[in-house]
A and B are shown apart, each in its own frame.
Chain A
Amino acid sequence: MNTYQYLNSRVIFERAAKVIPAGIYGHLGPAEGCFIPVEAYPFYAQRAQGAYFWDADGNRFIDYMCAYGPIVLGYNHPAVEAAARAQQEQMNCGVLPGEIMVQLAEKLVSLVDSADWAFFAKNGGDVTNLAVMTARAHTRRNKIIKFAGGYHGVSQWMQFIGNAGIIEEDVSSVITLPFNDAQAVEQAFKRYPGEIAAIIATPYHHPAMADNALPEPGFWPAVRGLCDREGALLIIDDVRAGFRLSLHGSDAYYGFKADLICFCKALGNGYNLSALCGRDAYKEAVSSVFYTGSYWLSAMPMAAALATLTELERIDGPGLMTRQGTKLTQGLAQAAQQHGYHLKITGEPSMWYMRLTDDDTGVLHQQWVSECVRRGVFFTNHHNLFINTAITDEDIAYTLEVAHDAFRALRGAGQKGSI
């Protein structure tokens, strides 16, 4: 198989280096995005359609990061684009919201089990932060429990001590516990009686750079029971998993009910929108929080989101993504086995995590992923991956061909001693 070159990406990066911090900052950049080795990765995209994007050098990739989650129906989905365009022609950013905001809230309330209302913002972090503020407003308590490795955005309280710009006071009200350990949660409530406002957690544990873990039987019922007993709110951060497991919320998928639930990524198929949904009991509290933004009530992303949810419902998007994810991950694991490696798959098939377990450093896995990228399959080595509904059986077959070729390259490099 031919491998890609990225000359234009590098030329653009050198221009960026002069005017943009880090060239590309954040998770799309080579540093935070763990482009290892960096020469295997494109830096800039030119266009995207369906399951694919094309980089600045014209190389085509199957995008298994789905823009880190937002692309759930494939890029430029016709129904979503038509709805967005129609709304744009009417109004987007205005001095008053459009009726579309009410229609979208009604849709979320009808779909999501734990939603009696919806509050819209832009990014996932906007609504995880709002959820915590709402819990504090409702309970008049300070402390928040989260689980080690859980990611809830970039607000100060969500970060870690030692991160640039973070001071101890930012994180001093956050209690970090191991996921799937209801006993630890109970002990925390005992240690801080009447002080814990909320538990915030992803519906299953999908940290970066670590195997993912599904909730053990009894974990969520126990946590739900503890929150009820202690008067704390249970916040589910469904920013990443939302609408990839179930259209009714990932809490419903795992058989429990959140007090507040946060959505973003898949909500608008790439149009920028997030939503905090919750139960009636917290409607007044969320209303009381001073929280707004210039673009939060823009109408076009709401029209896109309504179309996205309608389409996901029509085609049973979560079911389709689970089936395709299962086919792909089983194929990848078999490919690894055929070449003498062990590829461990964890998490849910529609947004699986994988790593080669044959060395304890991760270098081998980083190398294999980079060989896939050079051949047109865009994986990352550190993060869970994503399926979207545009990924076809042919795409999966091609991905498996690439995976085999990448394993052959890995074996060859190992024999030459270059890994």
Chain B
Amino acid sequence: MNLERIRACINLHAILRNLEDLGDLDDDARTLLAGHDLRIGMHVPGIEPLTLAVKDGAIRAKRGSEAGSLRLQFASPRHFNGMVGGSSMPLPTGGFKHLGFLKGNFAALAKDLEKYLRPGADDLKDPAFRDKNTRLTASAAMYALSEIANADPVGRQIARAMGEGTAVIEVPGVLAHAIQSKDGRLTTSRYEGQGAQAFMRFDSLDTLGQVLLGELDSYLCIGRGQIAISGRVPMMDNINKLLRMVSFYLA
């Protein structure tokens, strides 16, 4: 098992992808994005590229490569993981006119994201901060779940056992992620409200946040009705197995 590669998949398609959500949630991020129009392509050997399209004060993340991007090439998954961890730099191989954005605004965005994903204890006392922390952590976990299911050998076995269909993890009216299982591969996306077979519903964003932070026991939450599972239970059972693996990889 190539742990560096799996971590790189998660860092690319779950953590950096999260800049999309950060741009939607955070005023500081929107300010950093305002007035810019560019695409940043992240290329890691052996992993599907990620394109971050910056426009109108927002970021949209998309799998795959797009022409005309600021192209960031990494020598290896280890090199890419090093950049995410702050110990190495990418090699720009195209779109050099956007290097200023990369070094300035993009670096600040990444720092902003890190602040929400690795908060200090005091940060979490602020309800507004905690709200964003929960949304961004949930998003990272849901996208990481699919990466693990597609890249980790045990994750692949779990994904194959899931059967085809869509599982939804949501706080109704607040946030909803869909995890689609097809041909033994999982894909995470925002849930649009139709076509799912299994459901995990949290009664509030606060409950979701406490579960993600390890402050609440999810099994007790089920007994208390704070988490409601319904529909195809085996599918959700396998999602739970993958979520346990997410904790390991994101720790």
* A→B interface (CB under 8 Å): 13, 17, 21-25, 29-31, 34, 36-39, 43, 160-164, 168, 209, 360-363, 366, 382
Contact = CB atoms under 8 A, between A and B. Distances in A.
B244 A361 contact: no
Contacts of B219: 21-23, 25, 29, 31
Given A17-B223, A21-B219, A22-B217, 18 more contacts: A13-B223, A17-B224, A22-B220, A22-B223, A24-B223, A29-B219, A31-B222, A36-B233, A37-B230, A38-B222, A38-B225, A43-B223, A162-B158, A162-B241, A162-B245, A360-B197, A361-B198, A362-B232
Interface string B138-182: 000000000000000011011001000000000000000000000
B107 interface: no
A209 B230 contact: no
B197 A361 contact: yes
A162 B157 CA distance: 8
B144 to A, nearest CB: 16
Contacts of A209: 233-234
B151 to A, nearest CB: 14
A368 to B, nearest CB: 13
Contact of A29 (B223, B229, B238): B223
A257 to B, nearest CB: 33
Interface string B229-251: 11111100010011011000000
Contact of B158 (A37, A161, A164, A366): A161
Contacts of B155: 162
Given A361-B231, A363-B230, A31 B223 contact: yes
Contacts of B228: 36-38
B154 A162 contact: yes
A304 B161 CA distance: 41
Given A161-B157, A162-B154, A363 B231 contact: yes
B233 A34 contact: yes
B229 A36 contact: yes
B220 A23 contact: yes
Interface of B: 154-155, 157-158, 161, 196-199, 217, 219-220, 222-225, 228-234, 238, 241-242, 244-245
Given A23-B219, A162-B238, A360-B197, A36 B154 contact: no
A366 B230 contact: yes
B154 A362 contact: no
A347 B24 CA distance: 52
14 contacts: A22-B223, A24-B223, A36-B233, A38-B223, A38-B225, A39-B225, A161-B157, A161-B158, A162-B238, A164-B244, A168-B154, A360-B197, A361-B231, A362-B232
Nearest to B221: A31
Given A22-B217, A37-B230, A362-B231, A161 B154 contact: yes
A36 B244 contact: no
Nearest to A20: B220
The 8 closest A-B pairs by CB, nearest first: A22-B219, A162-B241, A361-B231, A162-B158, A30-B223, A31-B222, A361-B197, A23-B223
Nearest to B157: A161
B191 to A, nearest CB: 14
A162 B153 CA distance: 10
Contacts of A31: 219, 222-223
Nearest to B196: A361
Contacts of B157: 161-162
A168 B232 CA distance: 26
A362 B244 CA distance: 25
A26 to B, nearest CB: 11
Contacts of B234: 209
B170 to A, nearest CB: 14
A164 B237 CA distance: 11
A214 B25 CA distance: 55
Contacts of A39: 225
Nearest to B152: A162
Contacts of A360: 197
Contacts of B199: 363
Nearest to A34: B233
A36 B223 contact: no
Which of B199, B223, B230, B231 is packed against the most chain A CB atoms within 10 Å?
B223
A22 B230 CA distance: 19
A284 B217 CA distance: 48
